[in-house]
Structure 1
Amino acid sequence: MSISQRHVRYGKYHGTGNDFIVVDADEYVPNRGAFAAHHCDRTDGIDGDERRGADGVLFLALEEKYSPPRVVMTLVQPDGSTAEMCGNGARVAAEWAMARTGASEVMIDTQAGTRHARRVPVADGDDLVAIEMGEPSFAPEVVPLDRDEPLVEGQLEGYAVTGINTGVPHAVVFVDDVDAVDLESDAPPIRHHDVFPEGANVTFAAPRDDGGYDQRTFERGVEGETLSCGTGAVAIAAVAAHLGRCEDDVVTVSPPGGDLRVEVPDDGPAVLYGPVAHEFDGEVPVTPPAAD
């Protein structure tokens, strides 16, 4: 059987609408970038329950000999690039690994470091998956920024922007109403601004009366808005705490896909909590069809 005839088994998962194709890393995919670009496409990609495509492909390698089990996560985005970290993607990876091992906690090896994840039982609903996200950093060399000082509410493209790294770079902007922002027009100039030499996700946040925040994020690699962004939710909570905008250590952040909880302690890693859903399984060609 030729490579062009081979198929790859996959699972489709999402975390508050942030959706991923999950492929066991033991499956041979010769060109992961091309695979992700084709099957994540929102017009011609995999046919989902509600919409086509995905926000990325998670290639996961499970190592059960460790206690707790470990899973090596590689996220390939729709543009073919890899992302160092993804909060919702890591939670999906944790759910995938816990379902296969029966464990209630796992270690996730990402390009941003190793992260501990665990299942959190909920009395009146589906369990949550919590993952440690590392300590957010405003340091210019970590974000990274093309400047010597942190960027805290600096003026960029008409907005007060704060640069932070929560596993990947984020440009965080507080506004009165996230729905009033023309994200497709206003986010790209910030995402590609010279101050961010590696680019940045652009996350807009609006405070709510209950102390939480509404969220919209334009993700690099996806090059558009996603229904949820875990690193963006952590970025909002961390920047809000830094600016004295938080009254509690745990903040509810609400992207379009649902609610996430973020814990940002004064000293220690941030923790992201949220649901994970397994939508369906399927098979797709290992080699995408050639373009016409």
Structure 2
Amino acid sequence: MTVPFEKYHGTGNDFLIIDADEHTVPDRGELARRECDRTDGVGADGILFLALEEAFQPPRVVMTLVQPDGETAPMCGNGARCAAEWAMQRTGTDSVMIDTQAGTLRADRTDDGVAVEMTELTFDPAGIPVDADEGVFEEEIEGLEVTMVNTGVPHAVSFVDDVDDVDLETVAPPVRHADVFPRGTNVTVASPDGDGGFSQRTYERGVEGETDSCGTGAVAIAVVARRLGYTDADPVEVRPPGGDLQVSFNDRGRAMLAGPVEHEFDGEVSVEPPIEP
């Protein structure tokens, strides 16, 4: 038995999209572990299972992201932008609402791609979560000086002179698995460009490796940099390896993540058929 997918990416952060209304996948975790593998599978940073609800205005799409480790992630900024583009293509609209496990987001088409209003962020230790009595700001954890924030998922953000000089595959895993993080964390490094923007690299929890882009990580860089006084730019230009993202702040104080989205190709993947009752 096979089910069709569409492959999308947002600044190199790539996903297989499966229409959850039309196709049943009994074991989503197994499919993600197999097909996200870049050697033996299609290759992706995750699988988005999307269910469209066209009766609402604007239309709504329910988004579930299953990562390469087979686990579900509550939020993904670039994944949400890809989900929005997918839903807008189907409904012929320029705005959609996205229901995620971290909250409901609004996404709008822009001249340069898709912008999504992110969930509320927090520096509160319980909301990250991190085992600490107060907010973690520029504190050393497993050899890396980090600030902790949750932008839908937890991020340990570290500002360095040059992100290209960081051996991320060596530095990040001890932080990602540190005992103070009961659910683990993403690890994001950033270096200033001198104009209020930042270069970015992120080691993603669930992918267990570096990705070409991370939307929640870009937002984490922007909000932490503003909190620590490293920039007052709005929007904040953030440049992961896969392309440029913009993080702005609307009149509700919410972060907006904007950037390009591309549809790469379509295909099919094998799944086990559902068990008949």
**TM-score, normalised via structure 1 length:** 0.91
Q: CA deviation at 1:265?
A: 5.4
- The 8 Å contact of residues 177 and 185 in structure 2, kept in 1 or not, is answered as yes
Provide runs of 4+ in structure 1 moved above 2 Å.
Answer: 264-267
- The 8 Å contact of residues 144 and 175 in structure 2, kept in 1 or not, is answered as no
What do the CA deviations read for 1:48-80 (whole angstroms, capped 9, x no partner)? xxxxx0000000000000000000000000000
Q: CA deviation at 1:157?
A: 2.1
Count of matched residue positions in the alignment of Structure 1 and Structure 2: 272
Q: CA deviation at 1:23?
A: 0.2
**Residue 100 of structure 1: which of 75, 90, 98 is its match?**
90
3-state SS of the aligned residue for 1:235? Answer: helix
- The 8 Å contact of residues 197 and 233 in structure 2, kept in 1 or not, is answered as no
What do the CA deviations read for 1:29-61 (whole angstroms, capped 9, x no partner)? 010000011010011011xxxxxx000000000
Does residue 109 (structure 1) correspond to residue 88 (structure 2)? The answer is no
Q: Residue 95 and residue 163 in structure 1: after superposition, are their counterparts in 2 closer, same or farther (change >3 A)?
A: same
Match of 1:37 in 2: 33
For residues 17 and 148 of structure 1, the distance between their equivalents in structure 2, rounded to whole angstroms, comes to 37
Aligned partner letter, 1:71: V
For residues 119 and 19 of structure 2, the distance between their equivalents in structure 1, rounded to whole angstroms, comes to 25
Match of 1:58 in 2: 48
Does residue 17 (structure 1) correspond to residue 12 (structure 2)? The answer is yes
How large is the Cα RMSD of the aligned pairs? Answer: 1.2
Does residue 84 (structure 1) correspond to residue 74 (structure 2)? The answer is yes
- The 8 Å contact of residues 144 and 171 in structure 2, kept in 1 or not, is answered as no
- The 8 Å contact of residues 238 and 264 in structure 1, kept in 2 or not, is answered as no
Aligned partner letter, 2:150: N
Aligned partner letter, 1:103: T
3-state SS of the aligned residue for 2:51? Answer: strand
For residues 287 and 11 of structure 1, the distance between their equivalents in structure 2, rounded to whole angstroms, comes to 19
For residues 226 and 203 of structure 1, the distance between their equivalents in structure 2, rounded to whole angstroms, comes to 11
Q: CA deviation at 1:209?
A: 1.9
Q: CA deviation at 1:266?
A: 8.2
For residues 180 and 264 of structure 1, the distance between their equivalents in structure 2, rounded to whole angstroms, comes to 30
**TM-score, normalised via structure 2 length:** 0.96
For residues 267 and 111 of structure 1, the distance between their equivalents in structure 2, rounded to whole angstroms, comes to 21
**Residue 232 of structure 2: which of 243, 247, 266 is its match?**
247
- The 8 Å contact of residues 36 and 45 in structure 2, kept in 1 or not, is answered as yes
Q: Residue 206 and residue 114 in structure 1: after superposition, are their counterparts in 2 closer, same or farther (change >3 A)?
A: same
3-state SS of the aligned residue for 1:246? Answer: coil
- The 8 Å contact of residues 136 and 147 in structure 2, kept in 1 or not, is answered as yes
Gap runs ≥5 in structure 1: 1-5, 47-52, 122-126
Match of 2:190 in 1: 205
Q: CA deviation at 1:135?
A: 2.6
Gap runs ≥5 in structure 2: none
- The 8 Å contact of residues 217 and 232 in structure 1, kept in 2 or not, is answered as yes
Aligned partner letter, 2:197: G
- The 8 Å contact of residues 51 and 63 in structure 2, kept in 1 or not, is answered as yes
Match of 2:156 in 1: 171
For residues 247 and 68 of structure 1, the distance between their equivalents in structure 2, rounded to whole angstroms, comes to 33
| Percentage of pairs with the same residue | 67
For residues 191 and 263 of structure 1, the distance between their equivalents in structure 2, rounded to whole angstroms, comes to 27
Q: CA deviation at 1:112?
A: 0.2
Aligned partner letter, 2:94: S
Aligned partner letter, 2:16: I
For residues 11 and 97 of structure 1, the distance between their equivalents in structure 2, rounded to whole angstroms, comes to 12
For residues 41 and 56 of structure 2, the distance between their equivalents in structure 1, rounded to whole angstroms, comes to 35
- The 8 Å contact of residues 131 and 181 in structure 2, kept in 1 or not, is answered as yes
Q: CA deviation at 1:197?
A: 1.1
3-state SS of the aligned residue for 1:162? Answer: strand
3-state SS of the aligned residue for 1:8? Answer: strand
Counterparts of 1:68-83 in structure 2, within 5 Å, are 68-83=58-73
For residues 141 and 24 of structure 2, the distance between their equivalents in structure 1, rounded to whole angstroms, comes to 44
Aligned partner letter, 2:64: T
**Residue 118 of structure 1: which of 102, 108, 128 is its match?**
108
Q: CA deviation at 1:249?
A: 2.1
Aligned partner letter, 2:214: C
Match of 2:136 in 1: 151
Match of 1:8 in 2: 3
Match of 1:194 in 2: 179
